[in-house]
Amino acid sequence: MKIGIASDHGGFELKEYIKEYLEKEAIEYIDYGTNSLDSVDYPDYGLKLSKGVIEGEVDRGIAICGTGIGISISCNKVKGIRCALCSDTYSARMSIEHNNANIIALGGRVIGRDLAIEIISTWLKAEFEGGRHKRRIDKITNIEG
C-alpha cells in the first residue's frame, strides 16, 4: 500500500513524525507538502493529496492541519474522496470498515503523537467490509453526481 500525506503549517510537525513511523514500518509514501512551518493554506494541500488518491498515485491519504477540520472539508470537496476526521482508533477503524474512507484527517494541534500513530496504525490495518456498507457508499457517490 502506498500512502499520500499532506499538511498545512499547523500539521507540519505531526506530518514529519508520521513519516518517520511510515519509514520505520517500510510503508511507501508520497509527501505532498507543506515542507516547513511557514503559514500556508490547507485547501491547497488537501487538493494535492486528494488528486493523488483519485488519480491512483497513492492508495490512501493522511491529511493534517491544526484541528483536521479545514483540511478534511477541503478533501471532501473532491469527487470520489471520503475523508474521515478521526481522533480515536475506533473511529479510524470504522471509517474504513463501514465508510471505506480513502483519506484520514488528523488535528496536529489536537491529538498527541503517540495517539496519532495508534490511529494511523489502526486505519492502515482496517479493511472495508462491503455488504450493506457498500450500498451506503454507493448512495454517497450518487450524491456527488
133 given a catalytic annotation: no
98 is catalytic: yes
Residue 145 has pLDDT above 90, yes or no: no
Q: How far apart are CA 13 and CA 106, in angstroms?
A: 12
The pLDDT tens digits of the residues spanning 74-111 come to 999 999 999 999 999 999 999 999 999 999 999 999 99
pLDDT digits (tens, 9 = 90+) for 9-56: 999 999 999 999 999 999 999 999 999 999 999 999 999 999 999 999
CATH number, domain of 132, equals: 3.40.1400.10
26-54 exposure pattern, b = at least 16 Cβ within 10 A, e = fewer = eeebebbbbeeeeebebbbbbbbbbbbbe
Which pLDDT band, with edges at 50, 70 and 90, does 144 fall under? confident
Number of compact structural domains in the chain: 1
Contact present, 82 and 100 (Cβ < 8 Å): yes
Domain encompassing residue 91: 2-144
The residues that bridge with 63 in the sheet, in sequence order, are 6, 105
Is residue 63 a contact partner of residue 52, using CB atoms and an 8 Å limit?
no
Q: Which is catalytic among the residues 9, 65, 75, 86?
A: 65
The reported pTM is: 0.96
